[in-house]
Structure 1
Amino acid sequence: MIFCNIPFTNHSKSPTKLKKQKSLFPHLPDLQSSLVTRILYTIPTLDRSGAEKQLTLLASALPREQFDIHVATLTRNGPYLDNLRAAGIEVTCLHKHWKLDPFTCWRLKQLIRKFQPDIIHSWMFTANFYARLAVSKKTTANRPVVVVSERCVDLWKGSDRHWIDRQLISRTDRLLANSEAVARFYREQGYQDKQVTVIPNGIEIPIDSDPSESVSDREQLLKELDYPSGTKLICYVGRLAKQKRVQDVVWAFQMLRQLNTNCGLLIIGDGAERIKLEELAAHFGCDHLIRFLGHQKDPSRYLQHADCFWLASEYEGMSNSIMEAMAAGLPVVASNIPANAELVDDGVTGYLAPLGDSPAYVQFTQEILTTPELAASMGAAGQEKMKSHFGLSPMIDRHVRLYEELTR
């Protein structure tokens, strides 16, 4: 940490040192005076997960006549690298090897000196940590504006990480939260109200399909999944991690199938809990009705043909999977935690179940599956809410306004 705070001397007049610096990042364009705002995004990886998807959607959609974008990953790239490159965005991997890696901080400092961003916008704890160490304190001239993005009510963080966060508040110009629940959590950690801005996640709204084609597509999907015609599909999308409490989903499905024999469960995603979940399904004797589909680049096909969406998470920031399910017109049954309650209007777009209460999932879902009018009403209400409040365009516009405010 001490190493990362050593100030760099000005090498702008040293051709030798400038040449060496350029060799570190040869793909970066030469700097030139411009009215364009330069933004450097930093994030641990480009793995297929919620924050990474939001960064990719945002960076790819910002107007190029107004913003020059560069992305730095700390540890490695990932599946979203191709999306960013397709959008013409340069990506640099800093190759972090250790939990506390001074060389990563040094490489990030070098990238900052070369790219000279007006704004550094980091995403999630580790990137927020390194980004704030790599910049000078607020009193330094020509210092970039530092925006840290927190995407979850981070109950997993220990007291040591919260202490680190608090020590770096003075180096933070703005904390960006994706829900009011996340904003409240970080205000309680010591951030001032004026430091915190809420911008909800944005999603791409699917185009309405022809109803006749939808029926045939659904039957084809059921056939591919080896389900009988007419099977009711429950869908979960997300990481298979302890935070997500997917075991509650399996428990609930085991009970639901006692009431509704023509149902199946789609579990889309992967993670450390997968083997345990497969074993749990086998233990209950319902593994033949559950499909573990792993990561899906585009889960929309499954969502469009499902009958209900489940999420049982212990904590969230703002669930992309709930938003995508609602955008697809699915009723949602989700755990009653603050972040989920911001998305799901209980009794209107779905139901909120007490955390860990699998029987409640069964009760609510059985009502949805046996009352087509209710399912249609909830699906339509959820879809309208996503279109009016959580589309991709509003999310982009809010970021543009924030960046303009911070660089005035």
Structure 2
Amino acid sequence: MATERPGSGNKIAHIHLGVDGGAEKFFLRLSRALAKRGVEQIAFIRKNRPWRDELAQHCEVRELKFSRSHFKRHFVRWGISREIRSFGAKVTLGWMSPASKWMPKPGPNMRTFLRLGDFPDGFHTYGNVQNLIGNTPEIIRQAVDMGWPADRAHMISNFVDPLPEDLKPVNRADYNTPDDATVLISLGRFVERKRFDLLIKALAKLPENVHAWLIGDGELMDDMKLLAGELGVQDRTHFLGWQRDPSTFLKAADILVCPADDEPLGNVVLEGWNAGLPVVATDSPGPGWLIEHEKTGLLSPCGDVDGLVRSIDAVGVSITAPPDLAQEGHKFLLAQFSETSILGKYEQLLFRGAQENRGT
């Protein structure tokens, strides 16, 4: 039987099956922040993740092959549980619903949490999950409405890393964008719900000195390029691909646009505020929760091209934005979504609750 390693302090195991996106970026941020607080960590991930080496700087990493076979799954889960016991972790945190299949069985020496950054689609694989963590109130509301116990559903949002003061923006000329252009920037997967088509249609109704930078990739990229050509804005629509760190592009842009129909949180809103940009978004669940209209950003109805155009125009296609719009967004970010604030909530939920239950 495996024995626990000697040592003191909190220990946690992560199970993360994602590839590369917003959830992965926050996973790296949170695990790095926990490490700075002295939390020892082990993570079980798929092989060949592009962020594996970055994670390994502050966390033990186990790369596994996660089988679809129901029979083999039991052996993989048993192996994970065995390594977690050997590591000495008393808490396991799974990331997104796919991780729920591999969670160890909870008990007196193991508390299990599943962190959701998207809306739940059912709990049929959640047998070993004790608690849910959602990063927006709407995720938690939907989970409870679907039958998850309210006392085991917790809302803790995300934080973003402050940008270095000496961070230099990218050179616009390198991306065929004039220095005097108004640059709209939008980030995400090229999938239907992100509605990059809405932004491209809005661009076609905006002055010719307005350009759009679209950062990301996905199945609809070719369709979006075709749409830009059909609307005659192919020279003002710049597809910049997936960027592991888009901060230098954000620093070179003028307005952050989030045109999604169905956005659980809208981490890009936080990224925009973090870069000091005014934010324009459609009123999907996440941005609608984050943004106070006409104070920290501008909201328009989902799917409304003209509404999005009016918002962008109101911010100022000649950069005459209300001077406090970006400032108020940044102030709100620091007050509610700082690393200190969010990390304190995670520590309270994951570790201190267990210590109180033990009477320590």
TM-score, normalised relative to structure 1: 0.80
* 1:15 alignment partner in structure 2: none
* 1:299 alignment partner in structure 2: 246
Equivalent of 2:84 in 98, 111, 115: 115
* 2:348 alignment partner in structure 1: 401
1:62 partner SS: helix
| Superposed displacement of residue 61, structure 1 | 1.8
Q: Which residue identity is paired with 1:232? A: T
Equivalent of 2:65 in 95, 118, 121: 95
Distance 1:390 1:163, change over 3 A: closer
Q: How does 1:237-252 map to 2 (within 5 A)?
A: 237-252=187-202
| Superposed displacement of residue 338, structure 1 | 2.2
Give the Cα separation in 2 of the matches to 1:34 and 1:208: 38
Q: Is the 8 A contact 1:36 1:65 kept in 2?
A: no
Q: Which residue identity is paired with 1:150? A: L
* 1:37 alignment partner in structure 2: 10
Range with greater deviation from structure 2 (296-305 or 260-269): 296-305
| Superposed displacement of residue 238, structure 1 | 1.1
* 2:144 alignment partner in structure 1: 187
1:2-38 per-residue CA deviation (whole Å, 9 max, x = no partner) reads: xxxxxxxxxx2xxxxx7xxxxxxxxxxx732433332
2:131 matches 1:174: yes
Q: Which residue identity is paired with 2:5? A: Q
1:39 partner SS: strand
Q: How does 1:128-207 map to 2 (within 5 A)?
A: 128-131=100-103, 134-135=104-105, 140-142=107-109, 144-154=110-120, 157=121, 162=122, 164=124, 168=126, 171-207=128-164
Gaps of at least 5 residues in structure 1 are 1-11, 13-17, 19-29
Q: Which residue identity is paired with 1:128? A: S
* 2:99 alignment partner in structure 1: 127
- Percent same amino acid at aligned positions? 21
1:324-383 per-residue CA deviation (whole Å, 9 max, x = no partner) reads: 011111111112122112211111122111111111111110121257453432111111
* 1:316 alignment partner in structure 2: 263
* 1:27 alignment partner in structure 2: none
1:237-276 per-residue CA deviation (whole Å, 9 max, x = no partner) reads: 11111221211111111122xxx11111100011111111
Give the Cα separation in 2 of the matches to 1:282 and 1:71: 44
* 1:3 alignment partner in structure 2: none
Q: How many residues align?
A: 352
Gaps of at least 5 residues in structure 2 are 356-360
Distance 1:69 1:268, change over 3 A: same
Q: Which residue identity is paired with 1:35? A: S
Give the Cα separation in 1 of the matches to 2:308 and 2:17: 35
* 1:233 alignment partner in structure 2: 183
Give the Cα separation in 2 of the matches to 1:77 and 1:222: 33
| Superposed displacement of residue 150, structure 1 | 1.0
* 1:55 alignment partner in structure 2: 27
Q: Is the 8 A contact 1:118 1:407 kept in 2?
A: no
| Superposed displacement of residue 67, structure 1 | 2.3
| Superposed displacement of residue 390, structure 1 | 0.9
1:126-157 per-residue CA deviation (whole Å, 9 max, x = no partner) reads: 102331xx42xx5x554x10101111124xx4
Give the Cα separation in 2 of the matches to 1:388 and 1:271: 34
| Superposed displacement of residue 385, structure 1 | 1.1
Q: Is the 8 A contact 1:94 1:104 kept in 2?
A: no
Distance 1:163 1:394, change over 3 A: closer
Distance 1:64 1:353, change over 3 A: closer
Give the Cα separation in 2 of the matches to 1:65 and 1:309: 32
1:267 partner SS: strand
| Superposed displacement of residue 231, structure 1 | 0.7
2:51 matches 1:80: yes
| Superposed displacement of residue 163, structure 1 | 5.2
Give the Cα separation in 1 of the matches to 2:37 and 2:277: 38
* 1:267 alignment partner in structure 2: 214
Structure with more helix by fraction: 1
Q: Aligned Cα RMSD in Å?
A: 2.2
* 2:278 alignment partner in structure 1: 331
Q: Is the 8 A contact 2:282 2:300 kept in 1?
A: yes
TM-score, normalised relative to structure 2: 0.90
Give the Cα separation in 1 of the matches to 2:341 and 2:282: 26
Give the Cα separation in 1 of the matches to 2:13 and 2:196: 35
Give the Cα separation in 1 of the matches to 2:99 and 2:117: 12
